[in-house]
Amino acid sequence: MKKVSSVLLATALAATGVLLAGPASAAVTADSTAGGAVAAYGQQKINLKQDGWGAAQSCVVYSKSSVRCFKTHAEADKALGYSRASDPLMIGRTEAQIQATPACASGWLCLYQDINGGGRRLIFSDYYWHNLNEYGFSDQASSWRNNQGSSQWGWLARDEGGNGGQISISPNTYSSNLGVYNDWASSVAA
């Protein structure tokens, strides 16, 4: 009778949407197997897919297993050795042109949540298909800059894994506004 009661209780709780939490170690295991890129953010680890970005504004994807997030774009730029003042693309441009040009360190491809390089920024440099959902960034890119070498193209794709329609991203170019492709991409190769 006791076994039946516990099964009935568990069924009733599940039907009402109430979950009983197990030990802390079980919760950690469940989070780590559920997917999502885990990033270092200061002294903590965050799962970008499950937990969101919190106060982070820039996340740098060094590799599949190494992602680091920063509170500000300036902190990420400093870590990557980037200075807008010494960016060759900014020299000789008007203030309005500079503000509309997404900042991106040499050797990297940067995606921005908002037009004109605004909002959160996700930065890549290794060439394979990244599913943006894993970084909490699917269907959110509104501007980009490819500041990689002259032969390093990037690609945005509608679906995960590079499937669906694709947009090519020429080397050393940018788009301040993706227009009809705003909030469209689910994967990127950079």
Q: Which residues contact 32 (CB under 8 A, 6 or more apart)?
A: 38
* Alpha-helix runs per DSSP H in the chain: 2-16, 24-33, 73-80, 95-100
Q: Is residue 76 part of a domain?
A: yes
**What is the predicted pLDDT for the residue at 21?**
27
Give me the mean pLDDT over the 38-58 stretch: 96
How many domains does the chain divide into? 1
Give me the mean pLDDT over the 104-127 stretch: 96
Query: How far apart are alpha carbons 27 and 51 in whole angstroms?
Result: 13
**What is the predicted pLDDT for the residue at 74?**
96
**What is the predicted pLDDT for the residue at 63?**
94
**What is the predicted pLDDT for the residue at 8?**
32
How much is the pTM?
0.81
Report whether 80 contacts 105 (CB < 8 A): yes
Residue 179 in 3-state DSSP?
Answer: helix
Return the structure tokens found at 6. 């516990």
Q: Is residue 77 part of a domain?
A: yes
Percentage of residues in the chain with pLDDT exceeding 70?
82
Judge whether residue 108 has pLDDT over 80: yes
Q: Is residue 109 part of a domain?
A: yes
Confidence band for 126, pLDDT divided at 50, 70 and 90 = confident
Q: Is residue 6 part of a domain?
A: no
Residue 160 in 3-state DSSP?
Answer: helix
Q: What is the dihedral of CA 7, 9, 12, 14, to 10 degrees?
A: -70
Judge whether residue 20 has pLDDT over 50: no
Judge whether residue 122 has pLDDT over 60: yes
Query: How far apart are alpha carbons 86 and 119 in whole angstroms?
Result: 22
Structural domain including 43 reads: 34-189
Beta-bridge partner residues of 38: 47
Q: Is residue 16 part of a domain?
A: no
User: Residue 141 is part of a domain; what is its CATH number?
Assistant: 2.60.20.10
Return the structure tokens found at 19. 């979950």
- Strand (E) or helix (H) holding 45: strand 44-47
Confidence band for 30, pLDDT divided at 50, 70 and 90 = very low
